Amino acid sequence: MLSPELEQLFTSSTYSIEGLGDLFIGEHIPDAIVSWVKGVGHSTLSMIGAENPNATLVTQDENDRLHAALIQACRDEGLIWLPASGRGDDWQERGVAIAGLSREQTLQLRDRYSQAAVLFSSVDGRLEMI
């Protein structure tokens, strides 16, 4: 369960997929992102990062290592992904946007990378934090 402070921080942040646009929790996915997801034959979008596990700040070197491991896992597992990020007033983290994962698969990745929250939506739904 997220603290009220973390929940507020995450819900007021901007999430971006490189080259496709910005997303916001509670809003519909922009058309360019929907087109990408559908264009690769899927109907769901997940966004996850690996930096600052358990919402605990770590060194830049450790974040670089964690992010590289996430990218390598996406490649090794044959996932369809694009670079992504999340940012707020005083933070920014790198991550990935993945097309085609189920909600359960998204939660498994959240747990694998010890993240406080990840994002998920169907192409016709609203982006939610899970």
Distance between CA atoms of residues 34 and 56, nearest Å: 32
Distance between CA atoms of residues 88 and 39, nearest Å: 30
Residue percentage of the chain with pLDDT more than 90: 92
User: Quick check: 1 pLDDT over 80?
Assistant: no
**Count of domains forming the chain:** 1
Q: What is the mean pLDDT of residues 74-86?
A: 98
Domain carrying residue 122: 4-129
